[in-house]
Structure 1
């Protein structure tokens, strides 16, 4: 009754008598009342009796004054006003709770994490984030929820109920702008237009840098409440959205939409250059860099640029990771097992990847991808100067030197410069006298493979194809 504790029975009995003196005591709960008429009302809390019904909806109550308060839900009567903002409420208790939005008072706190709340009920709901309790379950599918509101919203998935409609002219006008594309409100700084004033207020944060919503776990700040809600799932691991086909769970609804395309095969985003289709916009954006050669991500250590962020992360391992894996044949060291395995195939000549069209085998899967372009005719790399297209990135790099005149490879003996490394190799034979290519008929040796091909015509009698056009005169000059 008052919270006093004692091990002495006689003292406790005397103390109770001082509390209940001149009062009527409930036989079941021990609660004391000033007059006899209050006892029957209290007894109903024990018996569960509810003798007072609502004349409108039939809901029953244990006390008559509860019916009176309940009737305000039907009449809309709100006799209690907030002295600061004038907002009206049906109950005095609601005014008391509402006042805390003005004073900032939060008298109720979580015993686990210390988070404070303005209303005691919010503490009860919050505690479920710690206990994992989900006392509300769907009668249709059995899915459980921590809050009554969540199950109410969830049930609309099954019933198809859409209870919210626009009841006043202002809301209707704003909603209609989603159909008419009328956007009468604009940002004073950049001129961007919006249909709703609230959207302008949120947009302004992109200019001011204001981020009023912060994560209580890591302190990261956000400009919008929705962003913080999504972020919190990285801490809680919550994945409330699931695929209806395979059951895979996701933290965001948009991820479910993208994932569903793995089942439907839908690819709504296509490349404007080559027409290749993708399931999401991000993949299409990354793919475009194949054509534009844009590399927005660079290594902070060596400055090497990449088209994708995850490629930078992988590359960084070449700087930070110790090269603990070494080749048993040549001793070359690697930081990653994948690279060491691929390298070993150079020695073993293993080629586990083959082309499904012609059967040609390769040591690396990436080489199969590049090779397939010989069958499909796909040439995703184009020259920005002349527009010529190429199947491989290396080819366009070499081709660009025809425009720039760059000759990065030089002979160590005479200093002559070349556009390609293999030209240096061939040129070096003029200094060394090496002739690695021999005629199978007469045994004569040559420095280049194409010279052997020309020489073979002296044995076969084959006549070379005579060129036409601008190469015709040059051909006869050589002849």
Structure 2
């Protein structure tokens, strides 16, 4: 099939798309006008699709259609398990993990999350990373929300209004504590976290919460020295050393340390494929496989080789590329 490229275009590298320097993407003749025109908007910045409700512009009609749901409140993605509807496919996929319990988990403490984004944010507790810095006083925070909350100590902004008496507060937790005055439920003493302004009615709960900010991990594994913020997480971690696997598959007898490991495993017996690609109708047993598959339709290639800037749909493809061409050196983009 005929392709269109510049006369001086070098051959496209094997294994991925080169993103460094000039772009030499190729497009088939049959679909070339659509694909090439759409691709060139990356370079020109052209956004021909405009929302008539708010004026925001987009490079592709599909992105405009997705955006318009913020105005129409349309929720076309339905959970076949419970019937709940969602505006975005990604939200449906995250929600479905509530039913299947197939969720990303933290290797440090075992906590599970509905999305990898939430997991990445959580991991800052373990790494101590605080990327959000206050320009007024230099204090740093793990989450952007913590920084925004902190900045009110400088701006004196009070966005939270008590509709009963009209008093305003800088933090939602202050408003919630204040409301107890009107309901007659206010405790004798309240405890405030000085980092995020969260309010507690019990001092022990505040002390446990503060470990999120201080990084303190008082519960240490005597076998490997790994530390944890909570005793329950240490107990779960110790199953690695004891070999305890309390969750057993009734079909084959295989045992697992976590219940959601068992639920995922059981699909090898039931052949259940609850994750549907709404573009082509293909089904998958695990949401992670669906996410990778959807990149075929979206063109997303999130894994970038730091050595040559080639991009890949899957991390394993990047690793194989590095082993073959870069002496197995890992990429910063992995």
- TM-score grouping bracket, smaller chain normalisation: 0.3 to 0.5
Larger fraction in helix: 1
Report the structure number with the largest CA radius of gyration: 1
